[in-house]
Amino acid sequence: MGRSKNTQGTTTPLLSVENLEVAFDSVNGKVHAVRGMSFSVGEGEIVGIVGESGSGKSVACRSVLGLLPSYASIDGQVLFEGSNIIGQHEDELRKIRGKQISMIFQNPASHLDPLMTNGQQIGEALRYHFNQDSRKARAEGIELLKAVGITDPEQTFDAYPHQLSGGMKQRVLIACAIACRPKLLLADEPTTALDVTVQARILDLLRALNQDRNLSIVLVSHDLGVIAEICQRVVVVHNGLIVEQGKIEDIVSTPKHPYTQMLIDSQPAVKARKSCEKPKIELDPELSEQPPNLLSVENLRVNSRTSRGFLDFLRHRKTSGLVRAVDGVSFKVRQGEIFGIVGESGSGKSTVALAITKLVSPSEGQVLFHNKSIMELRGDELTNYRRSVQMVFQNPYDSLNPRFTVAQTIGEPLLKYSLATKTKCADRIDELMELVDLSIDLRHRRPRQLSGGQCQRVGIARALAMKPEFLIADEVTSALDVSIQAQILALLERLRDKINLTILYISHDLAVVQMFCQRVAVFRAGRLVEIGPVDEVLTRPKEKYTQTLVNSAPQLHFSASLPAH
């Protein structure tokens, strides 16, 4: 890992934040987002800020550029090259923004203007700050695109953002940000919306920019693994306060604060490592007596077509724009196991789930449940099948009807299928809420009054109301903080043992799958690349793609050579 020159020492740091306090006025009084943070960034340094959602890390980052809304009250100092930014006039700030300090964001798609070509967006910054003419801006823009690792800079320069992939968009955004040769780049969750392999490349790029251009970077992320990958120092924030800061190696190997310890322990990769040290589940009885298959997917093919227009409809044209979402996939899930499906976006992993739940119909192949094909199920048989196969979704807020209370959400299937009488329903709801560790006091809350983790528990309780045998969990933890993620995974594991649930766990996160699943299937572009026991596939991958995937995943490195404190 590249460490750039250490410029800390006697010189004043490039950026120093001192006793920063930010509060927002809201209907319920003041909300203190940042409650006194002090940290500094030296020239040519990469500093990571890690914390969970609501910890104030993004707010602190934005206040450096004076980007907070007008109802925020700010206290303290943000010194950039010795002069205070807080309280400066907009006109002064504009001279700093872009030219001295610039910023990149989580979702590159929403930060690029869809009506401008990539070149225009880059050129705009150059023209604004340096008064360059368009010819010169073009030449420099293409140079910049080359610098951020875009292979065909000339075409990309003239293309529109929607013609690029997510990773390319982030590169263009970075090109815009570094166009005016700023000294400091603020990166707010720059890789969170990207696939792991793309993430690894963007992190490489940031590291290269740091070395080639002596660009200081503040990397804000919820993922300690990402931070550890490229940062020299890390600032751990929790509830608006800095709980600990220091060299990344020191923090990871000998965290002093319990919160940092918890954050490190919640990292799925660390958990997997720890569970490896423990004796794994006794393998011998499993070998002698394999549990029966609960679900088998045989040679599944799902074609999805782009929507048909009215004329296509008149002409009975059925196959305009055919896309093979799933292309000949077979696997079996054994009773009582947690089976993982891993893949990047667009690999067809969610489509498989929809085919299993019969929400899309495959064009070829079949799905067997208890050795019976589900393809021909109708009426009552279909209802019974639906009851035994349930699903939990990715987005905790989107997966609950915003108008329903918790009790209504969980109770609806109970009443609808007469699984409980009206009088017994309330008891059953309480029972289910207890089962998923939800306090019964939350019964009459609506989704927006719940946290992400609580919403996810409600979603699980709703699925469990049907007493399913098979639960599909589609990216259920990817929108949650690591500590909440660990809790939800623990809950699912407990449910499996307690009510004999078989779980199909779909995720893009290798570390989670490694920790949580027994067997795994790796998907790529609708095809199954590799399948087998987790420890085999993810530690000794046979296929090249799986190897890339495994190598791209950011991890905390606990090398044995680390000094034992």
Partner 1 sequence: MSLRNLPTTLIVGAGIFLMWLVVALCSPLLMGTDPNALNFEALLQRPNINHLFGTDHLGRDILTRVIYAGRIDIWMGFAGVLPALIIGTLFGLMAGYFGGVVEAVLMRVTDVTVAFPFFVLVLAIVAVLGPGLTNFFIAIAAVGWVSYARLIRAEVLVVKNAEYVLAAKILGYHPLFIAFRHVLPNVLAPIIVYAMTDAVLVILFGASLGFLGLGVQPPTAEWGVMIANGQPYVTEAWWICLFPGLATVTLGLGFSLIGDGLAKHLRIKN
Residue closer to partner 1 (CB basis): 89 or 448: 448
To which H or E segment does residue 349 belong? helix 349-356
Q: How far apart are CA 227 and CA 365, in angstroms?
A: 44
The continuous run of DSSP H or E covering 215 comes out as none
Give the C-alpha distances (Å, rounded to integers) separating 287 from 28, 238, 281, 283: 59, 46, 12, 6
Which positions lie near partner 1, rule CB under 8 A? 27, 310, 313, 357, 359, 382-383, 386-387, 389-391, 393-395, 398-403, 412-413, 416, 448, 459, 462-463, 466
| 68 Ramachandran zone, left/alpha/beta (phi>0; psi -120 to 50) | beta
Residue 290 CA to residue 519 CA, distance in Å, equals 13
Residue number, 290 or 345, with CB nearest to partner 1:
345
Give min distance, CB of 24 to partner 1, in A.
15
**Min. distance of Cβ 357 from partner 1 in angstroms?**
5
Closest contact distance (angstroms) between CB of 122 and partner 1 is 33
User: What is the spatial distance between Cα 553 and Cα 511, in angstroms, rounded to a whole number?
Assistant: 8
**Can you point out the beta strands (E) in 13-106?**
15-26, 29-41, 46-50, 72-80, 83-84, 101-104
- Is 351 in contact with 341 (CB distance < 8 Å)? no
Helix, strand and coil in the chain, % to nearest 5: 40, 25, 35
Q: Which residues have a Cβ under 8 Å from the Cβ of 317 and sit 6 or more positions away?
A: 308
Nearer to partner 1, 198 or 479 (CB): 479
Q: How far apart are CA 462 and CA 181, in angstroms?
A: 52
Shorter beta-carbon distance to partner 1: residue 181 or 387: 387
* Residue 161 three-state SS: helix
Comparing CB distances to partner 1, the nearer of 138 and 462 is 462
* Dist. CA 92–CA 304, nearest whole Å: 53
Contact 46, 36 (CB under 8 A): no
Q: Distances in Å between the alpha carbon of 115 and those of 45, 112, 119, 325?
A: 35, 9, 12, 30
Kindly state the smallest distance separating residue 173's Cβ from partner 1, in Å: 26
CB of 479 to partner 1, least distance (A): 11
Measured distance CA(410)–CA(435) in Å, rounded: 12
- Taken as a whole, the chain contains a residue count of 565
Smallest gap from residue 203 Cβ to partner 1 (A):
30
The end-to-end CA distance of the chain, in Å, is 22
CB of 541 to partner 1, least distance (A): 32
Q: If 0-12 CB within 10 Å is exposed, 13-18 middle and 19+ buried, where does residue 9 land?
A: exposed
Q: Which is nearer to partner 1, 217 or 391 (CB)?
A: 391
SS3 295: strand
CA distance 421 to 148: 63
Q: Tell me the chain's radius of gyration from C-alpha atoms.
A: 26
Instruction: Output 71 or 310, the one with its CB closest to partner 1.
Output: 310
Cβ closest to partner 1, residue 402 vs residue 563: 402
Least distance from partner 1 to the Cβ atom of residue 401, Å = 5
Residue 239 or 395: which CB sits closer to partner 1? 395
- Shortest distance in whole angstroms from residue 263 CB to partner 1: 28
User: Which structure tokens are listed for 1?
Assistant: 């890992």
As measured in angstroms, the least distance from the Cβ of 319 to partner 1 is 16
Rounded to a whole number of angstroms, the minimum distance from the CB of residue 350 to partner 1 is 10
Nearer to partner 1, 455 or 522 (CB): 455
Q: Which is nearer to partner 1, 281 or 311 (CB)?
A: 311
Q: How far is the CB of 29 from partner 1 (least distance, A)?
A: 14
With respect to partner 1, which residue has the nearer C-beta, 179 or 400?
Answer: 400
What six digits make up the tokens of 276? 């490896």
Query: Among residues 25 and 92, whose Cβ is nearest to partner 1?
Result: 25
> Shortest Cβ distance from residue 299 to partner 1 (Å)?
24
Q: What angle do CA 48, 49, 51 make, to 5 degrees?
A: 135
